[in-house]
Amino acid sequence: MKPVKIGVIGLGNVGTGTLTILTENARNLAEKLGFPLEVAAICSPRVHTRELPALPGVLKTTEWREVVNHPDVEVVAELVGGTGTAREIVDAAIAAGKSVVTANKEMLALSGVELWQAAASAGVSLAMEASVAGGIPIHTVLRDGISGDRIDTLFGILNGTCNYILTEIEQKGAAFGDVLAEAQRLGYAEADPTADVDGFDARSKLAILAGLAFGQRVLPAQIFTEGIRRVTPLDFAYAHTLKHTIRLICAARRTPTGLLLSVRPSLIPQSTIMAGVTGAYNAVWVKGHYGQDTFYYGRGAGAQPTGVAVVSDLVRVARELRYGHPGRLSPFAHGTLTGAEPLPIEQLKSSYYLRFRVKDAPGIIAKLAGILAGKGISIDAVLQLPNEPKDDLPFVITVEPAEEGAIRAAVAEMAALDFVIEPPLALPMEKGL
Amino acid sequence: MKPVKIGVIGLGNVGTGTLTILTENARNLAEKLGFPLEVAAICSPRVHTRELPALPGVLKTTEWREVVNHPDVEVVAELVGGTGTAREIVDAAIAAGKSVVTANKEMLALSGVELWQAAASAGVSLAMEASVAGGIPIHTVLRDGISGDRIDTLFGILNGTCNYILTEIEQKGAAFGDVLAEAQRLGYAEADPTADVDGFDARSKLAILAGLAFGQRVLPAQIFTEGIRRVTPLDFAYAHTLKHTIRLICAARRTPTGLLLSVRPSLIPQSTIMAGVTGAYNAVWVKGHYGQDTFYYGRGAGAQPTGVAVVSDLVRVARELRYGHPGRLSPFAHGTLTGAEPLPIEQLKSSYYLRFRVKDAPGIIAKLAGILAGKGISIDAVLQLPNEPKDDLPFVITVEPAEEGAIRAAVAEMAALDFVIEPPLALPMEKGL
């Protein structure tokens, strides 16, 4: 099947991440689609001075119209941002009969409804997963995954900079100004931090998500917005006393008469999974009338997480272009991928927890340690809780990463010892989570 | 646009939830689609004795072939389960040129690849969101949301019964057998609990998800599986000493030579968000090479959460049937929904945290309490951390749910008091999370 060719406009953070994934992950993507996704043209003011992946035959230009009008380009990825040139690019692409993938939250928050109307009239696709919460596929979830539900409430942590600053205030007891300065030094906050710390970035994102969740147009100006400048370490001390923490919460709540929308620092219970969202992560909590609570968590920004959102949109749009009914392309094995055959579990390398029940006797640890050493397994810790009976004594040995095969051989040998009451219980310790 | 008519086969838990949502949420669904989703036929052995929603004109039969062959039915929802009759139903529906939505994990784990091939040959859609993790739209996420990524690892808590039992052992220190008996009494575990507690249910689900995540066929028999029968309260005591907890973890890990797959009780760090998954909830943690960590959480079972998955699939399939390029239907406002207009935030009803900075003086609390009482606001608690300076004394009042408008009026009045150093900081307390 013929490749789908893409024009990428904008080579900032997201554009660079998108190009990296399209090039490095090309084989995997072609496998999924049954045809390649190829970059045909790139536009950026810095396109001739930037270091780019080797892209033979790709048009590199500083003039976006050359990308939009490139005869091979079927899909335009608008990764410029803002509401000026970006809007011109999207309008021109739709007018030229090309599908559009965009990461542009400001433009969609203000004009999403009109852009969709224009795209529908022109018979092209518009995709926008990357516009909210970077690596979290919340658009897909609301559009498809839980579309059968009637959503009652949506809560989001949608600005990574604010969440990073609040977490630092919470964990280090530092003042807002000091944390902001440090975040700026580390590149987590912009030189002009207003859009982030005063809540305007989060507000655009909430406008988009509320539109999707409730089927109702929501404009940013309709959302009550308050930033995080006034939150102090003392507020966290009080919040903790109340068994709460503080996050910049974007909220959209359905009431019998309409929607209540806000972006503001809020106290949330420490016991909720939302309180575990720290640092630059984002999260969305959706309460459906039928499906009840679902929760989505991931990186809110970053070249590659946001790039995944752009490329996933490109995959979907390309599938629509070539297959018409994209749901009909099997998401299961396509048969030719190698390197993903199931392996015997004996090859798993992990830390393990070994729990024993033994009759107390001299030299037990020495004997068990000897068996482990014989298999090349290193002990990490030996633990025994107090006050256990001598004739059925439990204790635990944890071991450093070893192969399951070696662990099993050791466990089998240990199970045969006369002081061992039942075969040791071996559980992996999943450090990778 | 012409309605899409559905045949529902099977009226167990999921079938009942699906019917409820299709009837109660019909207007919302029609709004999203631009045409109605209508039930045309229902089949169940108990269809004539069950209490069902009023469904005038709907064929009610005990013979599934009458549903599959019903001339109006375009989509068949197979909600029977198992690999016997269910497979006959799906084969017959595909052969009759009808799209299929199924919640059947056993059938998909064993024969998903063949069913997709048959559906593709027949030019019909096959949808299966409800087959894994009930209310969590993990199929949609893997198929569309993060399809651009290359997945390295997938961890899941995919059996709610096991997670409920493990959480009970952890929290109450009760033995496995006692907790199982109680879970059976409460209806959280089946009379024959083997499929759940020995890991076979979770194994089918992992086989499906690994197939989607890695584009590789994975059969249940290829997955190392160990149930939770041997996990004791003592193991939780040791795990806690190690700052871990224990969950039945489904894992699929890409290695340079293939996939390592397991379903087994595992120690996971208490600090990870996965450790917060308690009770009958499910969760999936995906690590992508580009997008890094994303996490999905929700109800793993239940009539309505699983019904949402079925109905969301029906929405998508119906959209494909009527629009061809389903991505082109705007997910934004469709214009005619009422009752979701943005409201002024003053109407928000919430508990609030009010933080004050005052110059110490007699009667401060009395004065502030008087203002609150004047607005009809009830105080919940007054908090003061020790050792603060008298000339800039911070303290906090939390109030019971009140309207934001009243809170704002009170705050404005308080800000004008001479002992108040800066306007009180009012933050909502989001109890609803």
Chain A residue numbers touching B339 (CB-CB < 8 A): 254, 256-258
Chain B residue numbers touching A427 (CB-CB < 8 A): 235, 246, 264-267
Chain A residue numbers touching B294 (CB-CB < 8 A): 135-137, 296-299
Q: How far apart are CA A285 and CA A269, in angstroms?
A: 14
CATH of residue B270's domain is 3.30.360.10
Q: How far is A96 from chain B (nearest CA, A)?
A: 16
pLDDT tier, A56 (very low <50, low <70, confident <90, very high otherwise):
confident
Residues B111 and B165 occupy one common structural domain: no
Predicted pLDDT of residue A98: 96
Q: Kindly tell me if the per-residue pLDDT of B341 is higher than 90.
A: no
pLDDT tier, B328 (very low <50, low <70, confident <90, very high otherwise):
low
Q: How far apart are CA A261 and CA B345, in angstroms?
A: 7
Residues A173 and A283 occupy one common structural domain: yes
Predicted pLDDT of residue A264: 94
Q: How far is A409 from chain B (nearest CA, A)?
A: 16
Instruction: Give a yes or no: residue A186 inside a domain.
Output: yes
Tell me whether residues B291 and A153 touch, CB distance under 8 A.
no
Exposed/middle/buried for residue A300 (C-beta within 10 Å: 0-12, 13-18, 19+) = buried
Residues B288 and B168 occupy one common structural domain: yes
Chain B residue numbers touching A327 (CB-CB < 8 A): 125, 127, 316-317, 320, 326
Residues A296 and A320 occupy one common structural domain: no
Predicted pLDDT of residue B217: 85
Model confidence, pTM: 0.91
Residues B152 and B276 occupy one common structural domain: yes
Chain B residue numbers touching A203 (CB-CB < 8 A): none
Residues B148 and B288 occupy one common structural domain: yes
CATH of residue B103's domain is 3.40.50.720
Q: What is the mean pLDDT of residues B340-347?
A: 82
Instruction: Give a yes or no: residue B338 inside a domain.
Output: no
Instruction: Give a yes or no: residue A65 inside a domain.
Output: yes
Q: For chains A and B, what is the number of CB pairs under 8 angstroms?
A: 462
pLDDT tier, A391 (very low <50, low <70, confident <90, very high otherwise):
confident
Of B428, B236, B56, residue with least CA distance to A267: B428
SS3 letters for A381-433?
A: EEECCCCCCCCCEEEEEEEEEEEHHHHHHHHHHHHCCCCECCCCEEEEECCCC
Instruction: Give residue-wise pLDDT tens across range A190-238.
Output: 999 999 999 999 999 999 999 999 888 889 999 999 999 999 999 999 9
CB A228 within 8 A of CB A222: no
Predicted pLDDT of residue A13: 92
Of B358, B369, B366, residue with least CA distance to B421: B358
Q: What is the mean pLDDT of residues B305-318?
A: 96
**Backbone angles phi and psi of A298, in degrees to 5:** 175, -175
Predicted pLDDT of residue B423: 94
Predicted pLDDT of residue B209: 95
For A62-104, the DSSP string reads S-HHHHHT-TT--EEEE---SSSHHHHHHHHHHHTT-EEEE--
Tell me whether residues A345 and B129 touch, CB distance under 8 A.
no
Residues B76 and B167 occupy one common structural domain: no
Q: Kindly tell me if the per-residue pLDDT of B78 is higher than 70.
A: yes
pLDDT tier, B329 (very low <50, low <70, confident <90, very high otherwise):
low
Residue B424 is classified by DSSP as P
Q: How far is CA A167 from CA A76, A135, A196, A276, B174, in A?
A: 37, 20, 15, 10, 37
Tell me whether residues B347 and A120 touch, CB distance under 8 A.
no
Tell me whether residues B262 and A348 touch, CB distance under 8 A.
yes
Instruction: Give residue-wise pLDDT tens across range B156-203.
Output: 999 999 999 999 999 999 999 999 999 999 888 889 999 999 999 999
Instruction: Give a yes or no: residue B339 inside a domain.
Output: no
CB B336 within 8 A of CB A173: no
Catalytically annotated residue among A205, A243, A287, A390: A205
Tell me whether residues A125 and B348 touch, CB distance under 8 A.
no
Instruction: Give a yes or no: residue B310 inside a domain.
Output: yes
CATH of residue B352's domain is 3.30.70.260
Instruction: Give residue-wise pLDDT tens across range A105-118.
Output: 999 999 998 998 89
**CA A141 to chain CA mean position, Å:** 13
Residues B10 and B116 occupy one common structural domain: yes
Note the residue count of chain B. Answer: 433
Residues A263 and A164 occupy one common structural domain: yes
Instruction: Give a yes or no: residue B66 inside a domain.
Output: yes
Note the residue count of chain A. Answer: 433
Known active-site residue A349: no
> How, if at all, do strands A349-358 and A258-269 pair?
unpaired
**Secondary structure element (H or E) that encloses residue B154, with its range:** strand B151-157
Residues B163 and B240 occupy one common structural domain: yes
Instruction: Give residue-wise pLDDT tens across range A370-386.
Output: 999 999 999 999 998 88
Residues B127 and B142 occupy one common structural domain: no
Tell me whether residues B332 and A425 touch, CB distance under 8 A.
no
- What total of structural domains would you count in chain A? 3
Q: Searching chain B, which residue's CA lies closest to the CA of residue A245?
A: B429
Q: Kindly tell me if the per-residue pLDDT of A328 is higher than 80.
A: no
Q: Kindly tell me if the per-residue pLDDT of B327 is higher than 70.
A: no
Q: How far apart are CA A178 and CA A165, in angstroms?
A: 10
Print the domain residue range for A95: 4-132+304-328
For B345-371, the DSSP string reads GGG-EEEEEEEEEE---TTHHHHHHHH
SS3 letters for A104-120?
A: CHHHHHHHHHHHHHHHH
Catalytically annotated residue among B5, B32, B98, B205: B205
Of A32, A74, A101, A427, which to mutate for an interface test with B (greatest number of B Cβ within 10 Å)?
A427
Q: What is the mean pLDDT of residues A417-423?
A: 94
Q: Kindly tell me if the per-residue pLDDT of B338 is higher than 60.
A: no
Computed over every residue of chain A, the mean pLDDT equals: 92
Instruction: Give a yes or no: residue A145 inside a domain.
Output: yes
Tell me whether residues B299 and A293 touch, CB distance under 8 A.
yes
Q: Kindly tell me if the per-residue pLDDT of B87 is higher than 60.
A: yes
Chain A residue numbers touching B313 (CB-CB < 8 A): 148
Instruction: Give residue-wise pLDDT tens across range A139-169.
Output: 999 999 999 999 999 999 999 999 999 999 9
CB B426 within 8 A of CB B402: no
Instruction: Give residue-wise pLDDT tens across range A276-313.
Output: 999 999 999 999 999 999 999 999 989 999 999 999 99
Residues A175 and A89 occupy one common structural domain: no
Instruction: Give a yes or no: residue A335 inside a domain.
Output: no
Predicted pLDDT of residue A50: 83
Predicted pLDDT of residue B198: 97
Computed over every residue of chain B, the mean pLDDT equals: 92
Q: Kindly tell me if the per-residue pLDDT of B340 is higher than 80.
A: no
Q: How far is B3 from chain A (nearest CA, A)?
A: 16
pLDDT tier, A332 (very low <50, low <70, confident <90, very high otherwise):
low
Predicted pLDDT of residue B330: 66
Q: How far apart are CA B143 and CA A257, in angstroms?
A: 36
Q: Quick one: what percent of chain B has pLDDT higher than 70?
A: 96
Predicted pLDDT of residue B40: 97
Q: How far apart are CA B304 and CA B293, in angstroms?
A: 28
